[in-house]
Amino acid sequence: MIHVLVGCTVKPELLEQALAVYRELIAETRKEPGCISYELLELRDDPGQLLLSERWLSQEHLNAHTQTVHFIRAMAELEILETAAPALIYTQIL
């Protein structure tokens, strides 16, 4: 299993717009093969700090995800709404 964490910062005035994009992205992504979980988390002490927490069955499933229409569209829309950090890819060791 592959864990992917993508942190991002959203300005308060753009949060609702960003959440609308995420809502659609998440709904479509959860239907994809190999998607174990795909959740948007908010840092409790700083609501503008979001974290996309993803679990994928394999790298191949993750690669396929990044080629989907809904992912590409969402990334384009989010680019102007948030500042995202690079994706961090983890594997579970214990």
Q: What are the residues binding its own copies (CB under 8 A)?
A: 3, 5, 19, 22-23, 26, 39-45, 50-51, 53, 88-94
For residue 73, which amino acid is it?
Answer: R
Distance CA 87, CA 74 (A): 15
Q: Which tokens belong to 62? A: 């993750």
User: CB of 41: closest distance to its own copies in angstroms?
Assistant: 4
Nearer to its own copies, 75 or 90 (CB): 90
CA 4 vs. chain centroid, Å, equals 8
**Closer residue to its own copies in complex, CB, 21/64:** 21
